[in-house]
Chains A and B, each alone.
Chain A
Amino acid sequence: MGGELLRIEDLKVHYFTSGGVVRAVDGVDLEVGRGELVGLVGESGSGKSTLGLAIPRLIPPPGRIVGGSIVFDGLDLTELSEEGMRDIRGRRIGMVFQDPMTSLDPLMKVGDQIAETILAHEDVSKSEARARAEELLEAVGIPRDRYDDYPHQFSGGMRQRVMIASAIALKPDLLIADEPTTALDVIVQAQILHLFRELQRSMGMSVILITHDMALEMQVADRIAVMYGGWIVEYSPAAAMARNPLNPYTAELLKAIPNIELEDQRLVSIPGSPPDLRAPPPGCRFHPRCRRRFEPCATEEPPLVEVDGRLVKCHLYASGGPDSAGGSERGEGERENGRG
């Protein structure tokens, strides 16, 4: 525990499509500590999945990492050879994907897909890999005698358990889970999350949990990074974020969590739609939908500011912003209007 495992700086991942360049990740900084569970939230198309795929360098063409660095345990992954990267994947960075129905090879025994991780990295006999894969099956709550079954014989939740087992087979330092529970029903979702937490604690792994579900992140994450339009707009400890969201977008996301205990059960949504990342709006990418926008928002890219050990990318917190000393009267006014 403790110490830094992953530091991403100014990462840019663009997709070079025929319709233009999609700036899916556009200058992202993120730091993950050892044994920490970091949540990565955002709407569809915010770039969160691309960021997750960029770390083990699995961006599909026409996508490409065009700038920045990903330093993993002292090693810049963007400069590693393909062979060097292959050695990291599965052994030191495990991945779990969104759709357990399609993420397993339908023609391969589930147990073999777990053993595959072991055999890809360690010079062990097939029978030893099998024995270890059987143990992993049990560790994720599947009887070991189901090793020889095929994916179509498993339910969604069980398949996701198999995916998790194959991802953690070599006790990676970092597990990246991209919407691991989205395709599952609520009960199974809770079971899988519980399993994640348990494995993470017992193995001391760091986890990046990517999801669009803010409520879910609030339950499990140590820190939460909020993505919007290819940027991380806020990165704060979960508890602090829940109490006092800094970025107006974070605040909107929190408001959108349905609460069954409240009298008012209307569903809240954020008006407007996410930006087109081929031609993002100038200035702050959230400004067209932001209730607290003021002068610089439409023209200048907001800086990344540290506030009480938390990071926020918003003009409200920049020097010269309405909250800082000498903030303009007009900015205050806009803010009041926004709350009205």
Chain B
Amino acid sequence: MASLRAYVLTRILLTIPMIFILLTVVFLVMRVLPGNPVIAMVGMKASEEQIRQLMHQLGLDKPLWRQYLDYLSKVLRGDLGNSMIWGRRPVIDEIMDHFPATIELTISGFAVSVLLGIVTGTAAGLRRGTGLDLAMRVYSIVVYALFIPWLGMMLQYVFGVKLGWFPVGGRIGPMMEPEHVTGLYVLDSILTLNWGSLASALRYLTLPSLTLGVVLSGVYTRLVRTSLSEVLEQDFIRAARSRGVSERVVLFRHALKNAFIPILTMMGLQFALLLAGAVLTETTFSWPGMGTFLMERIIYRDFTTVQGTIVFYALFVALVSLLVDLIYAYIDPRIRY
């Protein structure tokens, strides 16, 4: 256990330089981009004096290294600056208004993709070379090639318009919002024991998560299939059978657990992709999350908000990859050394 603690500590320490590099890259990219954010803010008709004043106010007239240090110290204090429009609200507050919606969609889409991937991949891996295997492989290629908005619209048409089972847009029914605890409606409904809100939140969540989950499940189907059929040929599987354990135990305790290691790696990589996919899903389903928010702010050229959001996403992905590595170490004892 001491070795596990050492591993966790090392891994956390390694995250620090990674975050530092991330912040630097974001800073540089934002300075290199063409266009003067101040002109974007005040418009083309502003006077020289007005522009100079605003640049001073934003610290943009300072030398680059000074701006860089200011930016770093602000980010480290959790200050991502203020929005350039609509009352100059702190960017972090704006993000916190929209991020829970995105994370709720991302987590449920993630769950759908992993679940679908494991079920289809296991079916294929256990029946290699059969029709079922072929069907699952075709499934994985087809869904991987699907365009998220197209699939979203198809689902909206069939389950929303034709069958009327699920709403086609929005996050929760009118007047159904649960009391704010975490901002995740499903979780908040459960925490406040508000079952009506829970039912409504789940109904609104179904189609978007299905859209996101199905498209991203194809990768897992393939990976689980390959990984599982490789593990099933290992000596320790035969050894487990020779002890008289049931096939169910062989599959769940030995085979899937070992097959899960490469899948976990993929999960970490996929999570970033999932956040990007969530943007497309959100616009399709009018989901009031980061995607919709970001699109809107790009159109309005809300420079600080866009930069702050990028930093926020980068930090979030770094956090997720740290989390994945820690789960890795928990599952596989060999990693800890």
> Is A316 an interface residue when CB atoms closer than 8 A count as contact?
no
Q: Is the CB of B254 within 8 A of A105?
A: yes
> Is A152 an interface residue when CB atoms closer than 8 A count as contact?
yes
Q: Is the CB of A102 within 8 A of B236?
A: yes
Q: Which residues on the A side are within 8 Å of B244 (C-beta)?
A: 86-91, 117, 120-121
> Is B162 an interface residue when CB atoms closer than 8 A count as contact?
no
Also in contact, A103 and B245, with CB within 8 A (given A108-B254, A150-B334, A152-B333): no
**Partner of A99 from B235, B240, B242, B331 at Cβ < 8 Å:** B235
Q: How far is the CA of A95 from the CA of B243 in the complex (A)?
A: 8
Closest chain B residue, CB of each to CB of A166: B243
Least distance between B336 CB and chain A CB atoms (Å): 9
Least distance between B250 CB and chain A CB atoms (Å): 10
Q: Is the CB of B332 within 8 A of A107?
A: yes
Which chain B residues numbered 209 to 261 have a C-beta less than 8 Å away from chain A? 233-236, 238-246, 249, 253-254, 257-258
**Partner of A58 from B242, B257, B258 at Cβ < 8 Å:** B242
> Is A229 an interface residue when CB atoms closer than 8 A count as contact?
no
Q: Is the CB of B332 within 8 A of A90?
A: no
Chain B interface: which size bin?
Answer: 20 to 34
> Is A4 an interface residue when CB atoms closer than 8 A count as contact?
no
Q: Is the CB of B239 within 8 A of A104?
A: yes
Q: Which residues on the A side are within 8 Å of B331 (C-beta)?
A: 107
Also in contact, A116 and B334, with CB within 8 A (given A97-B235, A107-B258): no
Also in contact, A90 and B258, with CB within 8 A (given A107-B332, A150-B333): no
Q: Which residues on the B side are within 8 Å of A107 (C-beta)?
A: 257-258, 331-333
Of B234, B242, B253, B331, most buried by chain A (CB within 10 Å of CB) is B242
Q: Which residues on the A side are within 8 Å of B239 (C-beta)?
A: 95, 97, 103-105, 163, 166
Which chain B residues numbered 280 to 337 have a C-beta less than 8 Å away from chain A? 331-334, 337
Closest chain A residue, CB of each to CB of B336: A150
Q: Which residues on the B side are within 8 Å of A88 (C-beta)?
A: 244
Q: Is the CB of B240 within 8 A of A116?
A: yes
Q: How far is the CA of A103 from the CA of B242 in the complex (A)?
A: 11
Q: Is the CB of A117 within 8 A of B235?
A: no
Chain A interface: which size bin?
Answer: 20 to 34
Of A87, A90, A107, A108, most buried by chain B (CB within 10 Å of CB) is A107
Closest chain B residue, CB of each to CB of A99: B235
Q: Is the CB of B245 within 8 A of A90?
A: yes
Least distance between B14 CB and chain A CB atoms (Å): 23
Also in contact, A120 and B245, with CB within 8 A (given A99-B235, A107-B331): yes
Q: Is the CB of B333 within 8 A of A105?
A: no
> Is A94 an interface residue when CB atoms closer than 8 A count as contact?
yes
Of B253, B254, B331, B333, most buried by chain A (CB within 10 Å of CB) is B333
Q: Is the CB of A86 within 8 A of B258?
A: no
Q: Is the CB of A89 within 8 A of B241?
A: yes
Write the A69-93 contact mask toward B (1 if CB under 8 angstroms, else 0): 0000000000000000011111100
Least distance between B239 CB and chain A CB atoms (Å): 5
> Is A60 an interface residue when CB atoms closer than 8 A count as contact?
yes
Closest chain B residue, CB of each to CB of A94: B242
Q: Is the CB of A105 within 8 A of B236?
A: yes
> Is A106 an interface residue when CB atoms closer than 8 A count as contact?
yes
Q: Which residues on the B side are within 8 Å of A89 (C-beta)?
A: 241-244
Q: Which residues on the B side are within 8 Å of A121 (C-beta)?
A: 244
Q: Which residues on the B side are within 8 Å of A97 (C-beta)?
A: 235, 238-239, 242
Can you report 9 A-B residue pairs in the complex whose CB atoms are below 8 A from each other? A86-B244, A86-B246, A95-B239, A102-B236, A103-B235, A105-B236, A106-B333, A120-B249, A163-B239
Binding site for B on A (CB under 8 A): 56, 58, 60, 86-91, 94-95, 97, 99, 102-108, 116-117, 120-121, 150, 152, 163, 166-167
Binding site for A on B (CB under 8 A): 233-236, 238-246, 249, 253-254, 257-258, 331-334, 337
Which 10 A-B residue pairs are closest in the complex by CB-CB distance? A90-B244, A89-B244, A95-B242, A90-B243, A150-B333, A102-B235, A117-B243, A120-B245, A103-B235, A105-B236
Besides A102-B234, A120-B245, 9 other A-B contacts (C-beta < 8 A): A58-B242, A60-B238, A86-B246, A89-B243, A91-B244, A97-B238, A97-B239, A121-B244, A150-B334
